[in-house]
Chain A
């Protein structure tokens, strides 16, 4: 697992953000919790906003189908909800003692997005069923 040859030019991080242990806590917590929160938000359907592109209507929360309004879009709302919740968890993590944050396994950062894929595929069953009927 050596990547030293490609990164050897780098010595100490030049950015103060990259040297900050608080930012480390925020970034790791945000990125680990983000994929999980996104799946939960999408499953329980908690969009922060609903957008109606045909009529340019933007409303808080979930707004179900309305007559003569065209399709609604929830993805913006799911993404915003995820960013807010993951951001809040990240801020909380900044307040937690560093020794506790250091115990979080870093491999969760890449494992959770992979584990999210089967759920995402399952959540799109509507499309796959329609395709199978053809």
Chain B
């Protein structure tokens, strides 16, 4: 990419793409998690009830696709993190930040392997046999994605965009 955009801009654009896709994933999964945790039993009135009343089953494929996209972009920018971000973080004794990033990478991989069952349970949402498992795996995935997002956000504040 040399000559068109700077190295910093290149990685910053990928970081933006990672962030934007992560926001979409976070929104879709939070809607779903609210829909399974606090299902709406009468016509939605307020904004919170409408937030919970989405047709959650329709989000499953999008959530899986977005998770994989965010995962792949994150895996790509991870190479730059390992060289240009983590080494200075360690040098400046940001050990908790580094530790939480490693925590994030492990949870991202664990979240990835949940996707086939998650997708299957949602695509068979009419089957009450899967109600508990679908609720459990959706809530676990939502917590994982929120954790990944918050750690990524804090790390970006430590040494992220344009650093």
Contact = CB atoms under 8 A, between A and B. Distances in A.
A5 B120 contact: no
Contact of B79 (A4, A51, A107): A51
Contacts of B57: 6-7, 9-10
A100 interface: no
Nearest to A18: B123
A28 B117 contact: yes
Nearest to B54: A6
B87 A113 contact: no
Q: Which 5 A-B pairs have the closest CB atoms?
A: A34-B113, A127-B99, A110-B136, A18-B123, A31-B117
The SS class assigned to the B binding surface is helix
A110 B109 CA distance: 14
B21 interface: no
B7 interface: no
Interface string B74-93: 01001110110011000001
Nearest to A51: B79
A124 B103 contact: yes
Given A73-B82, A106-B133, A120 B39 contact: no
Nearest to A37: B113
Contacts of B67: none
A32 interface: yes
Contact of A2 (B39, B111, B124): B39
A131 interface: yes
Interface residues of B, number: 58
Contacts of B35: 3, 6
B83 to A, nearest CB: 5
Given A107-B136, A127-B99, 6 more contacts: A6-B56, A30-B116, A53-B83, A54-B83, A109-B114, A113-B140
A129 B69 CA distance: 34
B120 A18 contact: yes
Contacts of A27: 116-117, 119-120
Contacts of B111: 113
Contacts of A113: 110-111, 114, 140, 144
A134 B95 CA distance: 9
A94 interface: no
Interface string B112-144: 111111111101111001111111110110001
B107 interface: yes
A12 B112 CA distance: 26
Interface in A62-118: 70-71, 73, 75-76, 78-79, 82-83, 86, 90, 106-107, 109-111, 113-114, 116-117
